[in-house]
Amino acid sequence: MLVPSPLVAGLVGSIVTGALGLNLATAASNVKVMSLNVRTSRAPDPCPVGCWEYRQWRFKTFLESTSPDFLAVQETAPDQVLFIQTQLGYTSTGECAGECQSEERNSIFYKADRFRLLTSQTFALSDTPAVLPSNTWNLEYLRAAVVARFLDLSSNVEICMLNTHYDISRGQNQSSVLVANLLKEHCQFNDAVFMTGDLNHTPEGPAVQYLLGNVEINNQRTPFPLYETLTAVGAGGPTWIGPSFGVELTGIKFDYILARAERRTCLLRGAVLAGTVNNNSISDHAAVLSEFCLGDGCTNCVAQAS
């Protein structure tokens, strides 16, 4: 349950357990989580506004100015993954949904000098998630989700993160049931938990409402309820820009950063960022950014788990 706080800032959350099963105090540290559909470089978008050859430098300028600790991306091609690694200094985890030259990779980029990767696995959005590629839901494109756990060396908090990209029009409800079960299976009790992605689904739809614990799918509620961080800070507006690569958002929200309500996962602030450089956006989607304080001693939380 989220209890609104009059302060502007977050949710207080996450502890680690010692070898004897004792809860260890953790030093507070801030973490910025960004989710962005980067728009694949394979798309035939016109230069100079839409093609990756030009967009990549706007993208670099934007990322250098916002400096997220975790960058969860959807729809990347191999050259885009390499660009983020070499030009921006991030390490990444996540496998392609199929053959990498023709299918997307949903990667989680992170700063390796601060975060240690503990585990990582990529799953198909399918009835056979352990089989890559697989597509039992007749999706228009092969889709996947990466689930990874990290140790934050600054706060000693362990983080569980899932990044995904739902299909445009098919299998969205099934995808939500799957990712909720993946979170339940892979995230541990004391983890700070984040889910990021382009869900191709509006907030009021069942695939999103199921993740929030508000509706049933197949007569069952989610085993792993989350909350929508942008809405919690009053920034739950549209994220779709479209083929203009301009500065205007269209009124549709597809992109999300969800989190588990934890006593030591403190949501500080969030924003939808068009990422415009010289009046052109970095993608056909806006970036969404949420900042958290992890550990003990966090203050000024937007809401607090009770």
Residues 21 and 31: their CA atoms lie apart, in Å, by: 26
Q: Per-residue pLDDT tens for 245-296? A: 999 998 899 999 999 999 889 999 999 999 988 899 999 999 999 999 999 8
pLDDT beyond 70 at 201? yes
Average pLDDT, the chain: 91
Residues 101 and 149: their CA atoms lie apart, in Å, by: 27
Give 82's contacts (C-beta < 8 A, 6+ positions apart).
Answer: none
DSSP 3-state of 133:
coil
User: Is residue 243 a contact partner of residue 284, using CB atoms and an 8 Å limit?
Assistant: yes
Kind and range of the H or E run holding 79: helix 78-88
Q: CA torsion angle for 198, 254, 136, 93 (degrees, to 10)?
A: 10
pLDDT-derived band at 197, boundaries 50, 70, 90: very high
pLDDT beyond 70 at 28? yes
Q: Which two tokens stand for residue 118?
A: 């503990």
pLDDT-derived band at 1, boundaries 50, 70, 90: very low
Quick one: which of 165, 162, 147, 152 has its CA closest to 103?
165
How many residues does the structure list for the chain? 306
Please give the residue that has the higher pLDDT: either 233 or 25.
233
Kind and range of the H or E run holding 151: strand 144-152
CATH numbers and ranges of domains, the chain = 32-260 (3.60.10.10)
**pTM of the predicted protein model:** 0.90
pLDDT of amino acid 25: 53
User: Is residue 223 a contact partner of residue 50, using CB atoms and an 8 Å limit?
Assistant: no
DSSP 3-state of 227:
strand
19-23, 45-49, 140-144, 205-209: which has the minimum mean pLDDT? 19-23
pLDDT of amino acid 155: 92
pLDDT of amino acid 103: 87
Q: Per-residue pLDDT tens for 243-252? A: 999 999 988 9
Q: Per-residue pLDDT tens for 82-132? A: 999 999 999 999 999 998 887 899 999 999 999 999 999 999 999 999 999
